[in-house]
Amino acid sequence: MLAGFGWGLRTLRVHQWLKNLLIFVPAATAHRFLPATALTLVLAFLSFSLCASSAYVANDLLDLNNDRAHARKRNRPLAAGRVPLGHAVALMPLLLVLAIALALPLPHDFLALLGAYYILTMSYSLVLKRKLIVDVVTLACLYGMRLAAGAVAVAVPLSPWFVAFSVFFFLCLALVKRCTEIVDRIAKNSGDPQGRGYIQRDLPMLEAMAAGTGYVAIMIFALYINSPAVAALYRTPEYLWAICLVLFYWISRVLLLTHRGEMHDDPVVFAASDLKSLVCGVLVIVIGAFSI
């Protein structure tokens, strides 16, 4: 029974719920993460997580053949035959209904964002992931929609600086994901990626774009430190320069590990399981706290 429960959780891709922690970021960066907003944010997190799981199940059903031919994805529950396809088909709408039910007490704009996120995710699974560059932009938008949902849930406006930083940072992560896939196929002499718009010869350009977007994100953060908007939120904003160094270290390390073929195919999962990445995250939080 425990084994079946474990396979069920893997079908939902619960580990991917880590991405939905982005919902808490707008309130935290605006210094409005208060007990009164905690329950609202938890509801938003659970709603988005169940919605995402519904989309993951749909994606796995649509991608069965490609997953079975993939070195790692063939171990997914549906591709490995551990979960009956009929169960997955029934699970998909059930998760979506539960997600909507949890979103009902939240602002209407949150429910609209949840619907837009699901539609975009399904569009990605059906069509967009096969489109050159469009797939990367879509992945970055999906990350950004989590931030927007968190802001809407507790009525926190997203600053232009925050949006600009997020756009380039998430583009970097999405490009790293594509680079990882190509590096892995080159190492295994497996030919061009299946079901993607890229070929192996694209790798140098994709690596350059990943580095460029990552370092532009750091530049935007540096410009933010010198902006008037900082004075209203931080008592000693000069400490924030240390975050630039942490970001430079983390992004550069991710890029190098990707080039070496040592990166997990999902950089968010990598960040959550890599000790040095976790230390970087703690340092950013500590530096931010000292700056307030």
Confidence at residue 235, expressed as pLDDT on a 0 to 100 scale: 85
Alpha-carbon distances of 47 from 1, 40, 100, 140, rounded to whole Å = 26, 11, 7, 20
Q: What is the per-residue pLDDT across 204-258, written as a single tens digit (0 to 9) for each?
A: 999 999 999 999 999 999 999 988 878 777 888 889 999 999 999 999 999 999 9
Q: Based on the fold, state whether residues 178 and 254 are members of the same structural domain.
A: yes
Average pLDDT of the residues in 143-159: 90
Q: Domain check: are 132 and 167 in the same one?
A: no
CA nearest to 51, candidates 19, 98, 110: 98
188, 249: one domain: yes
Tens digit of each residue's pLDDT (9 = 90 or more) over 71-107: 566 556 665 556 666 766 778 889 999 999 999 999 9
Q: Residue 198 contacts by C-beta under 8 Å, 6 or more apart in sequence?
A: 132, 178, 181, 182, 192, 206
Query: What's the angle, vertex CA 162, arms to CA 230 and CA 235, rounded to 5?
Result: 20
Q: Which domain holds residue 110?
A: 1-158
Distances in Å between the Cα of 248 and the Cα atoms of 98, 193, 200, 217, 242 are 40, 30, 27, 10, 10
Quick one: pLDDT band at residue 149, thresholds 50, 70, 90? very high
Spatial CA neighbour of 48 closest among 29, 23, 26: 23
Can you give the pTM of this predicted structure? 0.85
* 257 and 286 fall within a common domain: yes
| Closest-CA residue to 195 (of 82, 59, 35) | 59
d(CA 132, CA 136): 8
Q: Same structural domain for residues 154 and 172? A: no
Tens of pLDDT, residues 117-145: 999 999 998 889 889 999 999 999 999 99
* 95 in the same domain as 180: no
- Which of these, 126, 124, 143, 9, lies nearest to 76 by C-alpha position? 9
Q: Please report, for the domain that includes residue 28, its CATH number.
A: 1.10.357.140
